[in-house]
Amino acid sequence: MSSKDEIIANAWQAERGAFMGTYKRAHFTDRSITRDDVKQWREKNVSYEDKRKIINEAYFAENGALTATLRRANLKDMSITMDDIKKYRRENFNQEKRPTKYNTWVGKEPKEEYQADLFFLGKKSIPRLLLVDTFSKRMSVVPLDGKKHTDIIEGLKIGFEEMGGDPKSIYTDAEGAITSNEVRQWLSQQGPEIKPKSKDPVSEKGEDVEVKGEGKKKTQKPKETDLKPKGKKGKLVEAKLLAIKDKPAVEENPKREGIISNITMTHAPLAEAMIKYVKEQIAKRLTLMRMSPEDMASFDMNELIEKIELEYNTLHVPRAIGMTPIEAEDPKNRAAVKMRLELGRRNENPLPKLHVGSKVRTMRKKKNFEKGTTANYNEEVHNVSDVVQSKPSGQTQYVVDVKPTDKDYKYFKHDRYNRTELQYVK
């Protein structure tokens, strides 16, 4: 290795891969070193794996925004291009498009995908992790000690056990605690096992059943849950949920498919709807209890949430599937659930797109204490003057009857409208 290469290598290590910092440090030591020398050295000695580490750090620091990821990655390596970032995203993320305002994706079976999200019940409340199956709508709420990656991993373990098994993929918003590198690495090492099939010696019909196990341990398959109301007031008494059957031993060290984690930059709609449902149920039940402040201080919120979760999974009938989540997980009902989900899906956005010059009516909001029924939109017709992206969320907003200027902060809040607040006029 020549003296130039040694100087550039030392500078590269000192600047942690920053191209301009490497050039300045090496040029300060040897004035004959140019940027082309640094580029040639980097092409010979820096592999794509080093680029991937830089892109990985920048990608999660910018929550998946491609342009911002490119800017941050170029601070360390100017040779990284947008094609490198897109290649990294294709290799590490499932890029199936999932619209958030209307449903075009339907699962095939239970445990195919879980949606996950964190929520709090107050400023001083502990975080709670909510998991919901997109097919059966089964829900699980796990209290956490904190938002560290160790707490999230422990919560996911408990949640997967309560949901009845590991999913094939997890769909979540850009929650930093859930999408951290440590959690994603743990998910990639988990996942459903590649299970061999065998004849069930106990089954009368002799159907193929999947056998699951770890090492030489025998596995046991649960039957349908048996929950019956009992008592004068119809209180739920949880009976034995699992009926155990001994299964033949499985081969050692079964292979695993990693759990795919899909991140959306907007939100996980089903998980957020379930969080809203849980909070509404908590508010209703606390209102009926009429407890004093002293009783509220010693009240066990986790016990109440467990009761809400149990009643939801066993008694509540979501409109989308027409049966309880426990019933939806029964293989006999899988075709019926799939049919209802397919009938309820919408492949087109019900709201037509708006452009500059489109004619619209604005939403009319009722005043306080106003009675009677009125039209949802005003009769006056306006023109869309501009289409802007709000900061920092990036949500598309429409400006009505205002002349655009060259400034980004040109419009007041009351001049901007969301798509749901405008009605298109043909």
Tokens of 190: 């988990």
Tens of pLDDT, residue by residue over 296-317, are 778 888 999 999 999 999 999 9
Query: What is the average pLDDT score of the chain?
Result: 75
Global pTM reads 0.52
Tens of pLDDT, residue by residue over 70-108, are 888 888 777 788 888 888 887 777 544 444 444 567 888
**Among the residues of 76-180, which ranges form H helices?**
82-92, 149-163
Domain positions in the chain: 3-92, 113-194+255-344, 359-424
- Decide if pLDDT at 197 tops 70: no
Q: Which CATH superfamily is domain 113-194+255-344 in?
A: Ribonuclease H-like superfamily/Ribonuclease H (3.30.420.10)
pLDDT computed for residue 243 by the predictor: 37
Q: Tell me what percent of the residues of the chain surpass a pLDDT of 90.
A: 19
Mean pLDDT to the nearest integer, 267-296: 86
In angstroms, rounded to a whole number, what is the distance separating the alpha carbons of residues 8 and 13?
Answer: 9
Q: Quote the DSSP letter at residue 107.
A: -
* CA-based torsion, 140, 142, 147, 153: positive or negative: negative
Tokens of 392: 């920092």
CA angle 114, 131, 191 (to 5 degrees): 45
Mean pLDDT to the nearest integer, 291-297: 80
In angstroms, rounded to a whole number, what is the distance separating the alpha carbons of residues 361 and 384?
Answer: 10
Tens of pLDDT, residue by residue over 3-44, are 888 888 888 878 767 778 888 888 888 888 888 888 888 878
Q: Tell me what percent of the residues of the chain surpass a pLDDT of 70.
A: 70
- Decide if pLDDT at 215 tops 50: no
- Decide if pLDDT at 213 tops 50: no
Ordered DSSP codes for 347-415: SS-SSPP--TT-EEEEBPPPPTT--S---SB-S--EEEEEEEE-TTT--EEEEES----S-TT-S-GGG
Q: Tell me, what amino acid is at 94?
A: N
Tens of pLDDT, residue by residue over 337-370, are 999 988 887 666 667 888 888 899 888 776 666 6
In angstroms, rounded to a whole number, what is the distance separating the alpha carbons of residues 280 and 250?
Answer: 45
pLDDT computed for residue 223 by the predictor: 45
Q: Please indicate whether residue 151 or residue 400 has the higher confidence score (pLDDT).
A: 151
